[in-house]
Homo-oligomer: A and B are copies of this chain.
Amino acid sequence: MQDYKAILGDIHRDLSSKTNKGQVATYIPELAHIDKNKFGIHLKTIDGFEFGIGDCYTSFSIQSISKVLALSKAIALIGETVWQRVGVEPSGHPFNQLALLEVEKGIPRNPFINSGAIVIADILLSYLKNPKDDFLRYIRDLANDDSIGFNEDVALSEKITGFKNYAAANLLKSFNNLENAVEDVLDFYFYQCSIEMTCSQLNHTFFFLANKGNCLLNKSRLTKTQAKRINALMLSCGFYDEAGEFAFEVGLPGKSGVGGGIVALLPNHFVITTWAPGLNPKGNSLLGMQSLEQFTTKTKLSIF
């Protein structure tokens, strides 16, 4: 076994000293005041090794990373039916998601662009009895950790300023690809995105996707095939228009959030999570991306 502690220690030390730490996202007012020197990494392997460094026990807003969890719950609920309402192809575009949605008649390209995630939120709203509670319960069970929760201030902050998401949801509604009212779907969606976790908790939560669908407590959450497919989607679509770059440089399925978190995993081997709030121009955590590039380069571990 490689000396993960030494490798992660080197990476954390090297990147902590960088002066360029990217820009903290400002479009969600509640997230704008986060200290961009925060930097944590957490690794957990299938065979039981676990190690964290830096700010890996500080909570942050997981934001878009929650889209993967919402998708996994939707698949657990209604299976492959999900794919009648959302695609599995990369969007290829930074700028014009709504354009694509118009051309493709209300079927979002994939569940990780905002319009796709809003469709998934609509599914959860239709199938969960108490959507917010049930979804939080699902996450806490995945992580085996009842301290995980929503941040209502963040949810509210997005609700007041998230006009682009309202635009997307209304467009979906105009194409009959939302069952519930726009307000209700977005209310749930903003809560989902406001979930807070530490690197360590995030790592535990995603463990099931590296572990053939079985979560920490060894309960089956998804079939092996379902887990495989979600991993494939993270690889293709997990980093917006930088997905190809991430596959190319890092070579792991993963997902980033505008709060500065990233989760990546090597199926049957490990989950690694990073948090550094400064983003690169494409909206992905700058130090997080660099951490993962260094990690897969040094360890020679990747799916390719």
Contact = CB atoms under 8 A, between A and B. Distances in A.
Interface in A257-304: 267, 297, 300, 302-304
Contacts of A97: 102
A89 B89 CA distance: 12
Contact of A303 (B91, B225, B300, B303): B303
A167 B98 contact: yes
Contacts of A224: 300
A99 B96 CA distance: 6
A103 interface: yes
A182 interface: yes
B92 A92 contact: yes
A95 interface: yes
A275 B83 CA distance: 28
Nearest to A101: B98
A296 B236 CA distance: 18
B304 A232 contact: yes
A233 B244 contact: yes
B163 A170 contact: yes
**Chain A interface category by residue count:** 35 or more
Interface string A83-115: 000011111110111111011000001100000
Contacts of A88: 244-245, 247-248
Contacts of A253: 304
B92 A302 contact: no
Nearest to A227: B304
Contact of A302 (B99, B103, B228, B245): B228
A92 B95 contact: no
A199 interface: no
A173 interface: yes
B174 A236 contact: no
Contacts of A214: none
B233 A248 contact: yes
Nearest to A265: B304
Interface string A163-180: 110111111011000000
Contacts of A237: 244
| Interface pairs A-B: 5 shortest CB-CB | A92-B92, A99-B99, A163-B174, A89-B244, A167-B170
30 contacts: A87-B244, A89-B244, A89-B245, A90-B92, A90-B236, A91-B92, A92-B93, A96-B99, A96-B103, A98-B171, A99-B102, A164-B170, A164-B174, A166-B166, A166-B170, A166-B173, A166-B182, A167-B168, A228-B251, A228-B302, A229-B248, A232-B251, A233-B244, A233-B247, A233-B248, A235-B304, A236-B243, A237-B244, A253-B304, A267-B303
Given A232-B248, A232-B251, 4 more contacts: A92-B93, A163-B171, A164-B170, A170-B170
